[in-house]
Amino acid sequence: MSATKTTTRTKAGKCPDHGDVQGEKDFPVASWPLLAYLGRRASAQFKPYRCPQCGKAIT
């Protein structure tokens, strides 16, 4: 099996260093087993979007 597939979601936000940026976050693609996917998706939802330039959490 290869690594977990993810898709990148973006959202506009503010980076403490770069100001207005398009934040990025990896989101798991639906996969089997479903329970593992749901767990990954739930944890991804609680992770912050990150600045594509420095990786800091945006607000």
Q: How many whole angstroms separate alpha carbon 24 and alpha carbon 16?
A: 15
Element (H, E) at 19: strand 19-28
Evaluate the CA torsion angle 50, 51, 57, 59 in order and state its sign: negative
Annotate each residue in 1-40 with x if it binds Zn ion (CB under 5 A) or - if it does not, as one string.
--------------x-xx----------------------
Q: Under the criterion CB under 5 A, does residue 58 sit at the interface with Zn ion? A: no
Q: Residues binding Zn ion: what is the number (CB under 5 A)? A: 6
What are the residues binding Zn ion (CB under 5 A)? 15, 17-18, 51, 53-54
